């Protein structure tokens, strides 16, 4: 049985126990259901220890701690109410159970939203990584083709160096011509 299914089952049992406490009906049924819930929580703890991912193990540990706290609260509220006065703590039980249920609902919604956001981020990261891999392959093949074409044309390093030297010379000639034209335009505008 997976941890998620078992955790959901424990939550359902906990809700049923809360209803039993509110109705203050059957003590034996409450004890039997509480014993069953404790066994399920123990099984959840043992499954959590076998979990491979650390994040899942820690999340499950937190869930188990919340379940155990809820069980302890139910035991505390049910046992005194049955021994002393069953009508006295029912208002407190209702308020506590409503607060706990609201908290669990909010926390569950928050977890679902964060889970969907994490899945979106993972999908975006996967797409970006795939895109980068494709670009890397394209650049590798372009580089290989360029090197093959250079070797095919028989260009050696000395020829490439001569081309670069010529490029530098052309660069100086170009900018020298630009400066000469600007000076010439200046004098034409100034004296005409």
Spell out the domain ranges in the chain.
3-108, 158-192
pLDDT higher for 84 or 40?
40
- Six token digits for residue 168: 């530098």
Mean pLDDT of 144-150: 81
What is the Cα–Cα distance from 131 to 127, expressed in whole angstroms? 6
What is the Cα–Cα distance from 17 to 96, expressed in whole angstroms? 13
Average pLDDT of the chain to the nearest whole number? 78
Contacts of 40 (CB under 8 A, 6+ apart): 6, 9, 10, 13
19-23, 42-46, 144-148, 174-178 — which one is most confidently predicted on average?
A: 174-178
Count of residues for the chain? Answer: 192
Lowest-confidence segment of 9-18, 25-34, 62-71, 92-101 by average pLDDT:
92-101
20-24, 27-31, 41-45, 81-85 — which one is most confidently predicted on average?
A: 41-45
- SS3 category, 183: helix
Residue % of the chain over a pLDDT of 90: 12
- Six token digits for residue 96: 């506590």
pLDDT at 176 over 90: yes
Helical residues (DSSP H) of the chain, grouped into ranges: 3-23, 27-49, 54-83, 90-153, 157-191
pLDDT-based confidence at residue 83 (cuts at 50, 70, 90): very low
Closest by Cα among 96, 25, 18 to 10: 18
């Amino acid at each position: 049985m997976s941890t998620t299914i078992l955790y959901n089952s424990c939550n359902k049992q906990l809700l049923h126990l809360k209803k039993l406490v509110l109705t203050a009906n059957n003590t034996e049924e409450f004890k039997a259901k509480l014993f069953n819930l404790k066994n399920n929580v123990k099984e959840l703890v043992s499954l959590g220890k076998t979990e491979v991912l650390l994040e899942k193990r820690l999340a499950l540990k937190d869930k188990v701690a919340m379940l155990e706290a809820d069980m302890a609260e139910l035991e505390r509220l049910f046992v005194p109410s049955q021994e002393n006065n069953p009508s006295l703590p029912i208002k407190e039980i209702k308020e506590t159970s409503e607060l706990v249920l609201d908290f669990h609902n909010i926390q569950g919604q928050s977890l679902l939203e964060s889970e969907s956001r994490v899945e979106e981020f993972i999908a975006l990261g996967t797409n970006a990584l795939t895109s980068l891999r494709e670009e890397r392959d394209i650049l590798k093949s372009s580089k290989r083709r360029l090197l093959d074409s250079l070797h095919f044309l028989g260009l050696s390093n000395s020829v490439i160096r001569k081309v670069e030297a010529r490029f530098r010379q052309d660069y100086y000639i170009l900018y020298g011509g630009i400066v000469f034209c600007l000076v010439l335009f200046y004098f034409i505008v100034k004296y005409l």
